[in-house]
């Protein structure tokens, strides 16, 4: 089997779920290569943040770009050569704060690239400041008295912006995450895959969310997709009735 990982030793924190996401991406690409896709025709674009270190750990062509701009760069690569299969990596800060306009417009234009957002609901490489998906009340060095804003729901935003493929993954389910990434890459049009990453160091408040996750069947119904999107508001569960749907929440066919 073609080796997709480089020999570079990752500098992620021990136990970080980024290792699992790397494994899922690697398996998805290997599976595609087995099906006849060419390794040399993959291009990854990365942002700035813990997630983007994956650039050094994947033996694929790529651009280690600017913070918030990975998706814009990916769109440009695809426009430059439509034969290339382009996967953009971003964190929640890059995708939903700094680069939100690129996210909305990629959904709207349906650019044929895949976006993987490692969402740990905080800026972690800069030591834990809140992002657009951070839960209310989150305390950090930047929000010592608790974060006052409501989190953004990117799944709903993607739906409203016209995305044709929307998925959410649990990084601990490596097989399912790999399957979803593979399906996303195969989807013709823009594919948005949000991985509910954890952070062991900063926003640890989100680490108990796994118990709320439940797998859903692949869905092609837009109305149902809105319902699934509404099941969780990105706050930590205190009311007890939140559920976090995992799977292909919407694929337009």
Partner 1 sequence: MRLNILIGGKAGQGINAVSGIIAKVLADYGYFTFNYRDYQSLIRGGHNFNVLSLSDEWIASHESKVDFIIALDENTISFHKNKLKKSGKIISYPLFPDAGKNLNIALASALAKILGLPKELILKHTEKFQDSGKAVELGYKSQKHELNLKKLNNKISIISGTQGIANGAINSNINIYYAYPMTPATPLMHELAGRQKDDFFVFQPENEVAGINQALGSSFAGKITMIGTSGGGFDLMTEALSFSGQSEIPIVVYLASRPGPSTGIPTYTSQDDLDIALRAGHGEFPRIVLAPGDANECIEKTNEAFYLAEKYKCPVILLSDKHLAESDFSHDKKANPILKIKMNRKIPGKEIIKASSYEHLAGGETTESETEAIKNAKARLKKYSEIKKEIEKLEPIKIYGKQSKNLIIAWGSTKGAILDSIKNLDCRFMQVLYLKPLSDKIKKEMLTAENIILIENNATGQLGRLLREKTGISIEEKNRILKYDGRPFTSDLLREKIKGRLV
Q: According to CB under 8 A, which one of 79, 127, 208, 214 is a site residue for partner 1? A: 79
Q: Are strands 114-118 and 191-195 parallel, antiparallel or unpaired?
A: parallel
The answer to whether the CB of 142 falls within 8 A of the CB of 131 is no
Contact pattern from residue 92 through residue 131 relative to partner 1, giving x for each residue in contact according to CB under 8 A and a dash for the rest: ---------xx-xx--------------------------
Contact pattern from residue 12 through residue 41 relative to partner 1, giving x for each residue in contact according to CB under 8 A and a dash for the rest: ---------------------------xxx
Q: In sequence order, what DSSP letters do the residues of 216-242 get, joined into one string? A: ------HHHHHHHHHT--SSPPSSS--
CB-wise, 107 or 249, nearer to partner 1?
107
Q: Are strands 165-169 and 244-251 parallel, antiparallel or unpaired?
A: antiparallel
Distance from C-alpha of 223 to C-alpha of 208, rounded to nearest angstrom: 29
Residues facing residue 45 across a β-bridge:
63, 88
- Which residue has tokens 């033996």? 59
Q: According to CB under 8 A, which one of 27, 69, 118, 179 is a site residue for partner 1? A: 69
C-alpha torsion angle, residues 25, 200, 134, 209 (rounded to 10) = 80
User: Residue 214 corresponds to which tokens in the numbers above?
Assistant: 């439940």
CB-wise, 27 or 67, nearer to partner 1?
67
- Which residue has tokens 């935003």? 157
What are residue 148's phi and psi, to 5 degrees?
Answer: -95, -10
Q: According to CB under 8 A, which one of 19, 37, 64, 226 is a site residue for partner 1? A: 64
8 lies in the binding site for partner 1 (CB under 8 A): yes
Q: According to CB under 8 A, which one of 31, 61, 126, 143 is a site residue for partner 1? A: 61
Supply the DSSP symbol for 240: S
CB-wise, 10 or 205, nearer to partner 1?
10
Nearest to 236 by CA among 158, 145, 159, 121: 121
Contact pattern from residue 173 through residue 202 relative to partner 1, giving x for each residue in contact according to CB under 8 A and a dash for the rest: ------------------------------
158 lies in the binding site for partner 1 (CB under 8 A): no
Residues facing residue 43 across a β-bridge:
61, 86
63 lies in the binding site for partner 1 (CB under 8 A): yes
CB-wise, 117 or 209, nearer to partner 1?
117
Shortest CB 98 distance to partner 1, Å: 9
Distance of CA 50 to the CA centre of its chain: 12
- The residue ranges that bind partner 1 (CB under 8 A) are 6, 8, 39-41, 43, 45, 48, 53, 55-56, 59-66, 69, 72-81, 83-84, 101-102, 104-105
């Amino acid at each position: 089997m073609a080796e997709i990982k480089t020999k570079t030793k990752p500098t992620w924190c021990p136990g970080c779920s980024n290792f699992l996401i790397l494994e899922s991406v690697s398996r998805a690409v290997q599976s595609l290569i087995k099906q006849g896709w060419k390794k040399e025709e993959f291009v990854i674009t990365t942002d700035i943040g813990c997630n983007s270190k994956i650039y050094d750990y994947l033996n694929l062509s790529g651009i280690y770009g600017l913070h918030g701009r990975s998706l814009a760069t990916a769109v440009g690569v695809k426009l430059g050569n439509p034969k290339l299969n382009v996967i953009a990596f971003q964190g929640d800060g890059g995708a939903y704060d700094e680069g939100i306009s690129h996210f909305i417009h990629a959904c709207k234009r349906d650019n044929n690239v895949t976006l993987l957002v490692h969402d740990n609901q905080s800026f972690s490489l800069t030591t834990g400041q809140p992002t657009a998906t951070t839960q209310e009340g989150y305390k950090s060095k930047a929000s010592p008295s608790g974060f006052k804003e409501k989190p953004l729901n990117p799944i709903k935003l993607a739906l409203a912006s016209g995305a044709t493929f929307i998925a959410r993954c649990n990084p601990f389910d490596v097989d399912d995450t790999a399957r979803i990434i593979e399906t996303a890459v195969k989807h013709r049009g823009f594919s948005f895959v949000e991985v509910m990453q954890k952070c062991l160091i900063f926003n640890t408040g989100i680490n108990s969310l796994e118990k709320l996750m439940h797998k859903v069947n692949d869905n092609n119904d837009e109305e149902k997709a809105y319902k699934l999107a509404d099941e969780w508001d990105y706050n930590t569960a205190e009311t007890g009735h939140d559920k976090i749907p995992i799977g292909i929440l919407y694929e337009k066919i």
